[in-house]
A = this chain, B = another copy of it.
């Protein structure tokens, strides 16, 4: 059996050295700013999904690697741009790209990663014996990029809205977060040669752990520890972000609780004790438990889709995909 930890480590080393080799150009300090967030850390969850799902269906490393790099580059591009849009100062425990190099360079650094995210996969198509698989995987990557943009636009539109329903929120995170995670699993399986029915199952697996991933992010945005998440404690309360937990807490609270929450959410100058009061109200309303259960149920549903796969697969990697689903809900950062 392959351990998930060893697998993630090997994916990390593989992806990082491939990207380092391929992303070379001028001016050199521009490439440095583009690669800075990638080098600052990250779990390489998306490339791990490309590989695990690809190996499960018998794909080989040389075809999977450019796409695994592609999804990671696409992810890092969205992080750099989102940090500008959300005016975030820290990411992965270090200052964000626009804080260090300014907004113009940060915009362009994101654009460069975005370019490479499709350039590298497309350039690998020549090596594919079955070109259609390369085209299909590239199409999914391009779909993911536009869907993530729509998701971010919806998220930003929420800031101006008085209230957001849980349904609207779930639609948003499906685009903003789940689309690329779903695509990662889909791309691996496509390169491995999965048929349409199995692709549907692997997509559903990815989509569900993608939604779970965001719900856990929302939990960590309030209840995460600064030294683990790399973000200031209570950050979502401080920013007044309309996350699942906050939307639901506002919906379930009585008048007194709601007034208290509203007096704290998004007020940046308050002390930690004040934010802690809001976090306690959210917890006491049962919303933390609700979110935890929801994320765990999604992970279970995701895993059950793997059991529906009919094509021949490498069971070791199916089991690894299940481990990834568990990691997504178990993670503390």
The residue in chain B whose Cβ has the minimal distance to the Cβ of A23 is B146
How far is B113's CA from A145's CA once the two chains are assembled, in angstroms?
Answer: 10
Cβ-neighbour of A135 out of B131, B156, B157 (below 8 A): B131
A33 to chain B minimum Cβ distance, whole angstroms, is 9
By a CB distance below 8 angstroms, the chain B residues around A116 are 146
In contact, B150 and A25 (Cβ under 8 angstroms): yes
Which residues of chain B have C-beta atoms less than 8 A from A143's C-beta?
119
Task: Give Cα distance in the complex from A299 to B156, angstroms.
Answer: 46
Binary B-proximity of A114-142 (CB < 8 A = 1, otherwise 0): 11101100110110000110110011001
Q: How far is the CB of A160 from chain B (nearest CB, A)?
A: 10
Query: What is the copy number of this chain in the assembly?
Result: 2
- Whether, in the assembled complex, A27 has its beta carbon less than 8 Å from a beta carbon of chain B, the answer is yes
Are A139 and B119 within 8 A (Cβ)? yes
Q: B residues within 8 A CB of A126?
A: 135
Contact A27 B119 (CB under 8 A): no
Task: Determine if A269 is an interface residue (Cβ-Cβ < 8 Å).
Answer: no
Q: Which of B85, B114, B135 contacts A114 (CB 8 A)?
A: B114
**Per-position binary interface string of chain A over residues 150-170, scored 1 when its CB falls under 8 Å from any chain B CB and 0 otherwise:** 101110110000000000000
A112 within 8 A of B: yes
- Docked CA distance A26–B123 (Å): 31
From A152, which residue of chain B is reached at the shortest CB distance?
B108
Interface residues in chain A, defined as those with a beta carbon under 8 Å from any beta carbon in chain B: 25-27, 29-30, 81, 84-85, 103-105, 107-108, 110-112, 114-116, 118-119, 122-123, 125-126, 131-132, 134-135, 138-139, 142-143, 145-146, 149-150, 152-154, 156-157
